[in-house]
Amino acid sequence: EKENEREVCVVFKPYYFNHVMAIQMVRGNDALLVGPIDEHGFPDVQWLRQTLTTKGQGSGSGSGSRNRIRIRMVTITNPGNPTGVSLPRNKLQEIVDICREFNCWLVMDNTYEHFDHSRVNSFPMEDSQDSQDIQDNEDCQDGKSADDCCFGYHCFQDAHVINIFSFSKGFAMAGFRVGYLAINNNKDVYRQMIKVQDTIPICTSRLSQIAAQGALSAGRNWVLHKVRTLESSRQAILDALRPLETKTIGGSGAMYVMAKLPQGKNGDDMVVGELFVEKFGIAIIPGSFCGFPGWIRVCYSNLPPRDCIIAAGRLEKGIKSLLSCEE
């Protein structure tokens, strides 16, 4: 770092808390810069450009004060955890272009690649040309329905982009701790990553490697077929949150929906989390864990569809109970 310059990494809130903890563990709180999202749940691109343009000149004073920041890395999760939002290709491309323009790394966490329900960053794998926007594409080529098609997920190959993929969600292998990276042909970056791997995890267990091979042999379409079974659960949770009117984001990707609690005494997400467990028998994640107090994150993939519909009914009762207390 240069004198009076602080190198930082950007995350957007609500953020995935493990990303924040990883930055704090390696570089401390001073290396963390949290950006906002827009009304759609997308990273605020205007904020990112403005911050990169001004290099975040601060107002610190005194000797040794590092009152300028230099953004070295931007991290986004798509589809989003905890937002449950799928970012469309054009929005992702905009972020990729901005990071290239300002010479900073872009880490794209694609753990939920198979859960792009709105298909805004997907394309039919039978088609040799990637569609820019297939959200309204009901049929694949050769007259196949969308349910019969295998959709690929667009991966950016730019030299400044590091793509993270995982077996944890799509193949339900969270306990096996298997994943992989996709990077451009940057040998220096690869060497630095090998240093980290060789000194911390070394390698995943042989059992996990064998399980990963089996998962790959099952193929992408096997996963997508399983993901489609979540549709009734997803809709049930969205319906349960409907009493909150428009105060929700997500549902288009990953397996989450976020909802804003009513203001007042029932707006404390930590208290509501305990209340929902004790009184209604359901578990949610308080938004405070993700830098978003006053919100909750609801997951619709942890239960079989029939049980999730029951849980959604309990959630709706809990939401209505909060609203009635505010009237």
Determine the pLDDT at residue 65: 47
Instruction: Output the CA–CA distances (angstroms, integers) from residue 301 to 96, 127, 141, 233, in the order listed.
Output: 30, 30, 30, 7
Q: What would the pLDDT profile of 278-321 be if each residue is shown by its tens digit? A: 999 999 999 999 999 999 999 999 999 999 999 999 999 999 99
- Residue 139: pLDDT band (50, 70, 90) is very low
Cα gap 53→280, rounded to integer Å: 49
- Residue 69: pLDDT band (50, 70, 90) is confident
Instruction: Output the CA–CA distances (angstroms, integers) from residue 122 to 10, 128, 294, 301, in the order listed.
Output: 26, 13, 32, 21
Q: In the block, which residue shows the tokens 């030299």? A: 159
Q: Rounded to a whole number, what is the distance in angstroms from the first to the last CA of the chain?
A: 54
3-class DSSP state of 93: helix
Buried b (16+ CB within 10 A) or exposed e, 79-90: bbbbbbbbbbbe
Is pLDDT above 90 for 90? yes
Which contiguous run of DSSP H or E holds residue 191?
A: helix 187-199
Which has the minimum average pLDDT: 136-145, 219-228, 231-240?
A: 136-145
CB neighbours of residue 262 within 10 Å: 19
Reply yes or no: is the peptide bond before residue 79 cis, omega within 30 of 0: yes
Cα gap 319→242, rounded to integer Å: 9
Determine the pLDDT at residue 136: 41
Q: How far from chain centre, in Å, is Cα 135?
A: 19
Q: What would the pLDDT profile of 146-162 be if each residue is shown by its tens digit? A: 555 778 888 899 999 99
Is pLDDT above 60 for 66? no
Nearest to 75 by CA among 111, 44, 107: 107
Percent of residues, the chain, with pLDDT higher than 70: 86
CB neighbours of residue 108 within 10 Å: 22
Per the CB < 8 A criterion, the answer to whether 8 and 69 are in contact is: yes
0.75 exceeded by the pTM? Answer: yes
Average of pLDDT values for 62-75?
74
- Residue 264: pLDDT band (50, 70, 90) is confident
Nearest to 176 by CA among 145, 122, 216: 216
